[in-house]
Amino acid sequence: MGRRPEYAFDLSAGRLCLDFANTLSNRRMEPKERLQSYEDLVAWARQTGLVDPVAASDLLREATRRPAEAQAVLERARALREALFVLFSAAAAERTLPGGALAALNAALPAALAHRRLGQAASGLAWSWEPAGGAFDSLLWPIVHSAADLLASDERRALRECAAGTCAWLFLDHSRNHSRRWCDMKVCGNRVKARRHYERARRHAGRTPTAKPS
């Protein structure tokens, strides 16, 4: 059986963890799962630059040898994604962060931070991640770190959830007056505006008086 065509993930949210949370589309109506397999998770990581082609190939090769382990990590990834969405959605609405979702993130932090390393860089020292070495969950380490870093930073105030009723994608609003409402004006923004125009036209048509018979 041939491989499915690789999905081109949208990576416009502004942070790695938000792009990851957005791998479930149309959350509010007919959700579309973009991480249907561990292969999809690797493809997402490849597109974000988390792994290079060689590391991605190594992980996929290991996944064919140990499919049960790869599937277990995929399920953990989806669970992490949902916990992150709950946290980010609450933060965007300036609500108290739900304790269960925060506990899930805190539970994932020690394993992620254990693989954080200081290494030599052109400008001196820089943070990096130790090589995956076939660890299927290595793709989750930077996501966990990114989420914790965002929630603990002032940039948390820029968190937004798309105002389109069916979408709920997350993004950082760095617009000049902090009034951005849509994840993508060309998609959700235009769709909502078109719907409003249609509803106004329909209401207007309903109020139009009929001509009296002569």
pLDDT tens-digit readout, 17-56: 999 999 999 998 899 999 999 999 999 999 999 999 999 9
Joined tokens for residue 92: 């965007």
- Rounded to an integer, what distance in angstroms lies between the CA atom of residue 135 and that of residue 55? 11
Residues 169-210: tens digit of each pLDDT: 999 999 888 888 888 867 685 554 555 544 555 555 666 555
Q: Using only C-alpha atoms, what is the Rg of the chain?
A: 21
Joined tokens for residue 207: 């109020």
pLDDT at 1: 41
- How many domains does the chain contain in total? 1
- Rounded to an integer, what distance in angstroms lies between the CA atom of residue 27 and that of residue 167? 6
pLDDT confidence band for 80 (50 / 70 / 90)? very high
Give the 3-state secondary structure of residue 160: strand
108 part of a folded domain: yes
Identify the bridge partners of residue 32 per DSSP, sorted by sequence position. 25
For residues 59 and 48, the answer to whether their CB atoms sit within 8 Å is no
For residues 71 and 38, the answer to whether their CB atoms sit within 8 Å is yes
pLDDT confidence band for 211 (50 / 70 / 90)? low
110 part of a folded domain: yes
162 part of a folded domain: no
- Rounded to an integer, what distance in angstroms lies between the CA atom of residue 192 and that of residue 164? 7
Give me the residue label for tokens 């990576």: 11
161 part of a folded domain: no
For residues 181 and 192, the answer to whether their CB atoms sit within 8 Å is no
Helix axes 53-65, 67-92, angle to 10 degrees: 120
84 part of a folded domain: yes
43 part of a folded domain: yes
For residues 132 and 60, the answer to whether their CB atoms sit within 8 Å is no
127 part of a folded domain: yes
CA atoms within 13 A on the CB side of 61: 8
Joined tokens for residue 93: 């609405």
Tell me: pLDDT of 165 over 70.
yes
Q: Which domain holds residue 38?
A: 16-156
Average pLDDT, the chain: 88
77 part of a folded domain: yes
- Rounded to an integer, what distance in angstroms lies between the CA atom of residue 67 and that of residue 87? 30
